[in-house]
Structure 1
Amino acid sequence: MTQSVMLDALDRRLVHALQLDGRVPFSRIAAVLGVPERTVARRYHRLRSAMVVRVVGLVDSSRIGMLDWFVRVDCAPDAVDALIAVLAHRDDTSWVAVLAGGNRLACMVRTPGTGADGGRPFFDHLARTPGVRDLEASCVLRPVAGVGGWAGRTSALVEAEEAQLRRLAALDDGDVRQGVVGEPEDGGGLVEGGGPVDWDEADLRLVGELARDGRADVRQLATTTGWSASTVRRRIARLRATGVLHFEVDVDPTHFGSPIEALLWLEVAPAALGTVADTLSHHAPVAFAAVTTGPASVFAMVQCRDTGALYDYLARELSGLPGIGRMETALVQRRTKRAGPLLIPIPPTGRGRRA
């Protein structure tokens, strides 16, 4: 559990910089922010040690032949704690939460693609878990907002500072990214385009370490993968350049003054789907949104400072979009897991067995 901390102006500028590039050297951030490098490093390590902020490496499921699902589970009240603890400890789940009311859970699940039975074993097992009354799974067809970071944590730097950081990052990456496709010593055959990529066990170990710590030292990653440090650098650059890997700042929005988290399910007319998706990508309260299968074709996570702000968003911004026929909302009561792997054990309580 994260400590009760409100980020100050420098913390927010640091988070913004890391959202632009999670592995940018602290020296580059310090040069743009106008503070000593040791101050930037100390701030990040303090926040990470307190479980307030961390950088995580995330993989695009579609590029590795996997599927993402948003899953809602109705369960018996005495099974909630045990089930949510089990789900949070799984490597294939993220964004695990209890919804207001206490007997509904929500999470994101990654399963093998349709050629490998599309995750049916997971859903069959979950449905048979004691205490589970019903579940609904919607496949994520395309994320449309929030992949590059929630706007609430990317508003601390001015445009010139953003541009300078991007320019410095491009200079740092220039030599590494040259010849990014087709180098045999990198251990794989990544291809350009939007289809799945080929990779091996070393890649799995690499992204596993980056999921736990997106700023892991290259020497540590070299030991984990068995590659040289130069190959690790090239491989990370290649995974990023081909859209397989990106870095996210994992931080509770409460630290940005937005403690109210709501989940939205929108039934959208097909003709308006593109317009709604594009508009949501520009709405400041939207932390994440995706087009999904199921009756509600759009799912979104929204962050607000209070319930009044949530009402204003629903009534004044969302209601004006064409094609929305029905909307369902639910408040998140508590989170047990966000984007990255669980680092603090959650002891299962109550009844129920492993999902």
Structure 2
Amino acid sequence: MVKTDGKAAGFDALDRRLIHALQLDGRAPFSKIAAVLGVSDQTVARRYTRHRTTGAVKVLGLTDPSALGETEWLVRVQCAPDAALPVAEALARRPDTAWVGLMSGGTEITAVCRASGTEHTDALLLQKLPRTPSVVGVTAHCRLHMFFGGPQGLVNKSGALSEAEAARLRPPPPDPAAAPVTLTDGDRRLLDTLAHDGRTPLAELVTVTGWSPTTVRRRLAELRTDGVLYYDVNYDLRLFGHGVMVALWLSVAPAELAATGEALAAHPEVAFACATTGPNNLFASVVCEDVRALYTYLTTKIAALPSVRTMETAPRIRHIKGAGPLVAPAPATTGRRR
């Protein structure tokens, strides 16, 4: 059991196996997950309901921007120390942002912004950012290629499930040659609902979309096959022994960018890795047990990558928003949440 402030209490190996299973197929029937885990349907349902109710585990139905013809930007905002948190919270309230965090000494914000092909990126990234004299600098780098992230999920590197067990739950990969998908209003209502709860019951999805149950099931399958929809699990990283998260910006020789990115993606410590524009052309989100483990990682595995020319690290000191919609914190009377 991970030593935390008590938020990880009640988690064991079976719970971690359940999280791994949900990462692979977030809407898999409990009966299918139970068969893989070797327990009863009731045990899986009880465990999931308990952790879902307390907010410890949540399945999110998310969209892949590339499948929708959208572009992702990694944005870094430099602020005066007393303004960084309000600016970060303002960014987090925007529907086109994700992974908003307060970094380093509390003066830098990092965020991911999404823009459709019809939007002007300067307006999205600059004019719509909170206008305050305390913002002293903004840089934005386009994501060119993702080496690890999205539906892959860090938990897939945990070994909680064996490869044979994971293969029984892993869906077929989407067609990489599929053309970008244009969403209908019904699709957007469906996806908005799944973004808040990827396991929203079918009856509720029918009500939201106005479609028949058969149409909802068919459209869910189509959106997954087209690569638009994938499922992710929001959980406390400390449940898997991770206590430190760092943004890592690397400058890599262009001829070695692809090979270095793929090598980086294979590291168990890497939760996300992509190629970007800008002087630092490789970005990674790294998680380690503690600062000592981070030092070891940087001086061994990163140091062993021969094409890395420069490295910049920015520890995350506060998590503001993850991949899904921003959720208001629960009232104090309901107990502590992550």
**Partner-residue secondary structure (3-state), 2:84:** helix
Which residue of structure 2 lines up, in the alignment, with residue 317 of structure 1? Answer: 301
Q: CA deviation at 1:152?
A: 6.4
**Partner-residue secondary structure (3-state), 2:142:** strand
* Structure-2 separation of matches of 1:157 and 1:194: 30
Unmatched segments (≥5 aa) in structure 2: 332-338
**Partner-residue secondary structure (3-state), 1:197:** coil
Q: Taking structure 1 as reference, are residues 121 and 162 closer, same or farther at Cα in structure 2, changes over 3 Å only?
A: closer
Q: CA deviation at 1:18?
A: 0.7
* Structure-2 separation of matches of 1:92 and 1:250: 18
1:237 corresponds to 2:240? no
* Structure-2 separation of matches of 1:160 and 1:196: 32
Question: Do 2:56 and 2:235's aligned partners in 1 also have CA atoms closer than 8 Å?
Answer: yes
Q: CA deviation at 1:194?
A: 4.0
- Normalising by structure 2, we get a TM-score of 0.90
Q: 1:43 aligns with which of 42, 47, 63?
A: 47
* Structure-1 separation of matches of 2:55 and 2:105: 27
1:125 corresponds to 2:112? no
Which residue of structure 2 lines up, in the alignment, with residue 20 of structure 1? Answer: 24
Which residue of structure 2 lines up, in the alignment, with residue 79 of structure 1? Answer: 83
Counterpart mapping for 1:252-263 below 5 A: 252-263=236-247
Which residue of structure 1 lines up, in the alignment, with residue 185 of structure 2? Answer: 201
Q: Taking structure 1 as reference, are residues 10 and 111 closer, same or farther at Cα in structure 2, changes over 3 Å only?
A: same
Give the count of matched residue pairs: 324
* Structure-2 separation of matches of 1:50 and 1:153: 25
Q: 2:161 aligns with which of 146, 150, 157?
A: 157
Unmatched segments (≥5 aa) in structure 1: 171-179, 181-190, 348-355
Q: CA deviation at 1:153?
A: 5.9
Which residue of structure 2 lines up, in the alignment, with residue 293 of structure 1? Answer: 277
Q: 1:4 aligns with which of 7, 30, 41?
A: 7
Letter in 2 for 1:134: G
1:96 corresponds to 2:80? no
Which residue of structure 1 lines up, in the alignment, with residue 110 of structure 2? Answer: 106
Provide runs of 4+ in structure 1 moved above 6 Å.
Answer: none
Question: Do 1:140 and 1:291's aligned partners in 2 also have CA atoms closer than 8 Å?
Answer: yes
* Structure-2 separation of matches of 1:122 and 1:192: 28
Question: Do 1:97 and 1:106's aligned partners in 2 also have CA atoms closer than 8 Å?
Answer: yes
Q: CA deviation at 1:118?
A: 2.6
- Normalising by structure 1, we get a TM-score of 0.86
Among all aligned residue pairs of Structure 1 and Structure 2, give the percentage whose two residues are the same amino acid: 47
Q: 2:312 aligns with which of 317, 324, 328?
A: 328
**Partner-residue secondary structure (3-state), 2:182:** coil
* Structure-1 separation of matches of 2:122 and 2:183: 21
Question: Do 1:144 and 1:277's aligned partners in 2 also have CA atoms closer than 8 Å?
Answer: yes
**Partner-residue secondary structure (3-state), 1:193:** coil
Deviations 1:230-259 (A, max 9, x none): 111111111111111111111121221101
* Structure-2 separation of matches of 1:27 and 1:297: 44
* Structure-2 separation of matches of 1:21 and 1:66: 24
1:342 corresponds to 2:326? yes
**Partner-residue secondary structure (3-state), 1:27:** helix
**Partner-residue secondary structure (3-state), 1:96:** strand
* Structure-2 separation of matches of 1:136 and 1:162: 39
Q: CA deviation at 1:37?
A: 1.1
